[in-house]
A and B are shown apart, each in its own frame.
Chain A
């Protein structure tokens, strides 16, 4: 991960629109008086939802709303990579390239994005429609590889299915339902179950912990005796 820097060109001002203002008010009201600063992350999120990214005026606005020093808001915004410090496209695609996804073919997924969009990682298309970002573990390793479009995860993607999603986005069509693109049930195994095959309704058999411990102690004593014995 490279250091995140704030965008060079910052807008002159920022204001929450009426809807976001209303939501912000509700969020702030959740916290006890004098603890409004706790609402900084949700408010930064609201700002990002409204503008697509978190600009410096947005941070300053939030600092005023929550009676914090601007630097405190900036600290939070720069710590979380989910907060975008520079403008992104209307459709922000995040490709996970961490270990699990990489083993399962994230290189193909990245290539598919690059081919379809004509941009590299960390870039925005000239029409501002798309932006592409490489992310560290997205937390969906079990269904790797995974891409995130906006708030939705598309799992078990490959070159072709990634292309399909991007095409649908380009045409403005309804997207396929999010989740596994191979039709897997949540995070269940792709084929037959290989574990947890017992009947979950049956009671769990009692285990003899005392016996297990005795066996462990015996093994330990034997190992100790072996180590202590003079070497032949």
Chain B
């Protein structure tokens, strides 16, 4: 381990560390533009120049590996002078239009110009001007501001795995562009905006909406997919202005998927902001008391076993716990949080979580994807698989249709019965898994929500056993969820109790008239036409499918408007915080249920969220603490059976619209038009 001295501080670092990384370890900050610790090293901005003793010239610290006995000065006169020079050159061709630039206030160039910039320009010739490029509906460009750090190019190529961005030309004429100026076809494209150290790439939907210092920042959890990405919600007044990623090495590193980032404008449209009751076939706005009365009248006329509740994909654990308690008090066991009818065993935690953990993907050396399309179901998790793939020595097998994943895969066949053949060892990929040190099997919702889901679950479990995917310190059996609420729902036991009906059963019984009352807690992904003549209570935040069918609407809060608990696909319990208040008369979901329970004379035994959380922790100890993954015990689950030889049907057909929020979002509608429908569907009215 080489020892070196940086600014008089001795530090010992592993070989192949760069000076900049070594300096970071001891808290010495070196300015930089092109260097980013999750991207390859480019060394082209020269801002990180430092003074190394016995070196004839200043050295680019981001690209210089440390040597034994090196003496580095990061704040010497020579280093400072070198950076001043670099900064002056960078500013020669920079428009200095900070007052009209969206990056203003959070711009690396602006900040560093304060430290290293010269207070006037000495360049009297014409500045360079570059034509703006089209990069799709999410990324706005102002290429004259570009300083050619190539972070975006490296991100698209390395992390996103879509080599569409490039730097054409050279020298002063170098221009960053997408191939033929097409839209950047990545589900992670919004991250180039975060990476851009200047205002060349900015967020198009957020353009000219707010300045960073006007925003109130709330650190919370994303619910657009089951990854549980850590986000920061920036709000002004009552409006969510934007969503940015937070760093969490175990979950999302520092990436955020496009839907999670840009669907937030959907929080402002189609909102349910007051209670409604259907009168004479028409939804009429009423007061909370009237809505509760309407429910109470209807429930009094019905028996407990003729009631059912389905929880949606965005529900927080608190509301599901409250609804579960309420349904139990009413005498109903017909509750389910699996809208798609996925065959997950609520009793065995190992059967429904991503046991290997997201960070664990980096240890895997063989991955079998069964009926899952991670690129669209969990883009950030997909980026983690690509990160592992780029290190080399990873083989990925896919059962299901090819979906252009961002790494090399071996397609083992589209139909589900291939899994049975791998499980019994007659397929060559079984050997690949067996030879792997840390094999991983990822089962998706396309596999589990089929009629033979239980058999597929059993076959996957059998395969995990036979290929040695479950051993000390490694559990390679994983379920990749698409719904943020799913694991939390199963953890709290929002699943049919003794003799209770699951989603399929509830819909069937409602259709036949055997169930009178169905409570939908933000459940919009079910076929509402099958609810028959049942009395439907919809509690949620958007006027979507569920609300259209509802007889009573109780306006709830969206994920940015309530304190809540979410459990991501790996079983990580995370706490979300309220960033803004719910609109109009809408209330936090668990409080609605608590109020309703009082009207129904089944008052729930908690008056504040602390008591409710204590109740949750009592029901399941995983809820006792946050930000932890509790390894699940490996037990038997699934039911062996025949697997039909039909292809998997991926649940996410349009990545940009999967839930009520993204369906209400204009930005997501633009993305759908651009990426999903394509130009061929455009008509004359599209301009």
Q: Which residues of A contact B166 (CB under 8 A)?
A: 69, 71-72, 74-75
Size bin of chain B's contact surface = 10 to 19
Whether the Cβ atoms of A4 and B165 lie closer than 8 Å is no
Cross-interface CB contact of A75 among B168, B171, B173, cutoff 8 Å: B168
Chain B residues 142-180 with CB under 8 Å of chain A are: 157, 163-171, 173, 175, 178-179
Verify if A107 is at the interface (C-beta below 8 Å from B): no
Verify if A125 is at the interface (C-beta below 8 Å from B): no
- Bound-state CA distance A80–B169 (Å) is 8
Verify if A3 is at the interface (C-beta below 8 Å from B): yes
Whether the Cβ atoms of B179 and A75 lie closer than 8 Å is no
Do A3 and B169 contact each other (CB < 8 Å), given the known contacts A69-B179, A71-B179? yes
Contact with B along A1-20 (1 / 0, CB 8 A): 11110000000000000000
Q: Which residues of A contact B170 (CB under 8 A)?
A: 78-79
Whether the Cβ atoms of B168 and A72 lie closer than 8 Å is no
Q: Which residues of B contact A69 (CB under 8 A)?
A: 157, 163-164, 166, 179
Question: Please, which residue of chain B has its CB at the minimum distance from the CB of A69?
Answer: B163
- Bound-state CA distance A93–B590 (Å) is 79
- Bound-state CA distance A72–B175 (Å) is 13
Chain B residues 89-140 with CB under 8 Å of chain A are: none
Q: Which of B164, B166, B167 has the most CB of A within 10 A?
A: B166
Whether the Cβ atoms of A71 and B165 lie closer than 8 Å is yes
Contact with B along A74-105 (1 / 0, CB 8 A): 11001100000000000000000000000000
Q: Which residues of B contact A72 (CB under 8 A)?
A: 163, 166
Verify if A179 is at the interface (C-beta below 8 Å from B): no
Q: Which of B157, B166, B168, B178 has the most CB of A within 10 A?
A: B168
Cross-interface CB contact of B169 among A4, A70, A71, cutoff 8 Å: A4
Whether the Cβ atoms of B173 and A71 lie closer than 8 Å is no
Question: Please, which residue of chain A has its CB at the minimum distance from the CB of B165?
Answer: A71
Chain A residues 106-120 with CB under 8 Å of chain B are: none
- Bound-state CA distance A3–B167 (Å) is 13
- Bound-state CA distance A21–B233 (Å) is 56
Q: Which residues of A contact B175 (CB under 8 A)?
A: 3
- Bound-state CA distance A38–B598 (Å) is 73
- Bound-state CA distance A3–B169 (Å) is 7
Whether the Cβ atoms of B163 and A74 lie closer than 8 Å is no
Whether the Cβ atoms of A79 and B169 lie closer than 8 Å is yes
Whether the Cβ atoms of A4 and B163 lie closer than 8 Å is no
Q: Which residues of A contact B171 (CB under 8 A)?
A: 1
B109 to chain A, nearest CB (A): 23
Q: Which residues of A contact B173 (CB under 8 A)?
A: 1-4
Chain A residues 1-50 with CB under 8 Å of chain B are: 1-4
Whether the Cβ atoms of A70 and B168 lie closer than 8 Å is no
B621 to chain A, nearest CB (A): 49
- Bound-state CA distance A79–B169 (Å) is 5
Question: Please, which residue of chain A has its CB at the minimum distance from the CB of B178?
Answer: A71
B328 to chain A, nearest CB (A): 56
Question: Please, which residue of chain A has its CB at the minimum distance from the CB of B162?
Answer: A69
Whether the Cβ atoms of A78 and B168 lie closer than 8 Å is yes
A75 to chain B, nearest CB (A): 5
Chain B residues 165-201 with CB under 8 Å of chain A are: 165-171, 173, 175, 178-179
Question: Please, which residue of chain A has its CB at the minimum distance from the CB of B166?
Answer: A71
- Bound-state CA distance A60–B170 (Å) is 20
Question: Please, which residue of chain B has its CB at the minimum distance from the CB of A1?
Answer: B173
- Bound-state CA distance A126–B599 (Å) is 90
Chain A residues 182-230 with CB under 8 Å of chain B are: none
Q: Which residues of A contact B178 (CB under 8 A)?
A: 71
B156 to chain A, nearest CB (A): 9
B166 to chain A, nearest CB (A): 4
Whether the Cβ atoms of A70 and B167 lie closer than 8 Å is no
- Bound-state CA distance A59–B624 (Å) is 59
A9 to chain B, nearest CB (A): 15
Cross-interface CB contact of B179 among A4, A70, A79, cutoff 8 Å: A70
Question: Please, which residue of chain B has its CB at the minimum distance from the CB of A2?
Answer: B173
- Bound-state CA distance A156–B419 (Å) is 75
Whether the Cβ atoms of A75 and B163 lie closer than 8 Å is no
- Bound-state CA distance A74–B182 (Å) is 14
B143 to chain A, nearest CB (A): 12
A191 to chain B, nearest CB (A): 39
Q: Which residues of B contact A70 (CB under 8 A)?
A: 179
- Bound-state CA distance A79–B175 (Å) is 11
Whether the Cβ atoms of B179 and A78 lie closer than 8 Å is no
- Bound-state CA distance A97–B173 (Å) is 20
Whether the Cβ atoms of A75 and B167 lie closer than 8 Å is yes
- Bound-state CA distance A2–B166 (Å) is 19
- Bound-state CA distance A79–B174 (Å) is 8
A37 to chain B, nearest CB (A): 11
Q: Which residues of B contact A2 (CB under 8 A)?
A: 173
A57 to chain B, nearest CB (A): 12
- Bound-state CA distance A69–B166 (Å) is 10
Q: Which residues of B contact A1 (CB under 8 A)?
A: 171, 173
B136 to chain A, nearest CB (A): 15
A98 to chain B, nearest CB (A): 15
- Bound-state CA distance A75–B167 (Å) is 6
Q: Which residues of B contact A71 (CB under 8 A)?
A: 163-166, 178-179
Question: Please, which residue of chain A has its CB at the minimum distance from the CB of B173?
Answer: A3
Question: Please, which residue of chain B has its CB at the minimum distance from the CB of A6?
Answer: B168
Q: Which residues of A contact B169 (CB under 8 A)?
A: 3-4, 78-79
- Bound-state CA distance A74–B171 (Å) is 16
Whether the Cβ atoms of A74 and B168 lie closer than 8 Å is yes
- Bound-state CA distance A70–B169 (Å) is 15
B407 to chain A, nearest CB (A): 14
Q: Which residues of A contact B168 (CB under 8 A)?
A: 74-75, 78
- Bound-state CA distance A82–B339 (Å) is 61
Q: Which residues of B contact A79 (CB under 8 A)?
A: 169-170
Q: Which residues of B contact A78 (CB under 8 A)?
A: 168-170
- Bound-state CA distance A69–B167 (Å) is 13
- Bound-state CA distance A179–B553 (Å) is 89
Question: Please, which residue of chain A has its CB at the minimum distance from the CB of B164?
Answer: A71
- Bound-state CA distance A76–B142 (Å) is 24
B139 to chain A, nearest CB (A): 16
- Bound-state CA distance A3–B164 (Å) is 21
- Bound-state CA distance A123–B179 (Å) is 27
A221 to chain B, nearest CB (A): 24
A7 to chain B, nearest CB (A): 14
A84 to chain B, nearest CB (A): 14
Q: Which residues of B contact A3 (CB under 8 A)?
A: 169, 173, 175
A148 to chain B, nearest CB (A): 20
- Bound-state CA distance A72–B168 (Å) is 9
A171 to chain B, nearest CB (A): 38
Q: Which residues of A contact B165 (CB under 8 A)?
A: 71
Q: Which of B157, B163, B165, B179 has the most CB of A within 10 A?
A: B179
- Bound-state CA distance A71–B181 (Å) is 11
Contact with A along B435-473 (1 / 0, CB 8 A): 000000000000000000000000000000000000000
Question: Please, which residue of chain A has its CB at the minimum distance from the CB of B169?
Answer: A78
- Bound-state CA distance A80–B179 (Å) is 18
B183 to chain A, nearest CB (A): 14
- Bound-state CA distance A1–B173 (Å) is 9
Question: Please, which residue of chain B has its CB at the minimum distance from the CB of A70?
Answer: B179
- Bound-state CA distance A75–B168 (Å) is 5
Q: Which residues of B contact A75 (CB under 8 A)?
A: 166-168
Known: A3-B169, A71-B166. 15 other contacts (CB 8 A): A1-B171, A1-B173, A2-B173, A69-B157, A69-B166, A69-B179, A71-B165, A71-B179, A72-B163, A72-B166, A74-B168, A75-B167, A78-B170, A79-B169, A79-B170
Could you show 27 A-B contacts with beta carbons less than 8 Å apart? Answer: A1-B171, A1-B173, A2-B173, A3-B169, A3-B173, A3-B175, A4-B169, A4-B173, A69-B157, A69-B163, A69-B164, A69-B166, A69-B179, A70-B179, A71-B163, A71-B164, A71-B178, A71-B179, A72-B163, A72-B166, A74-B166, A74-B179, A75-B167, A78-B168, A78-B170, A79-B169, A79-B170
Closest 3 CB pairs of A and B: A69-B163, A71-B166, A3-B173
B residues contacting A by CB (< 8 A) are 157, 163-171, 173, 175, 178-179
A residues contacting B by CB (< 8 A) are 1-4, 69-72, 74-75, 78-79
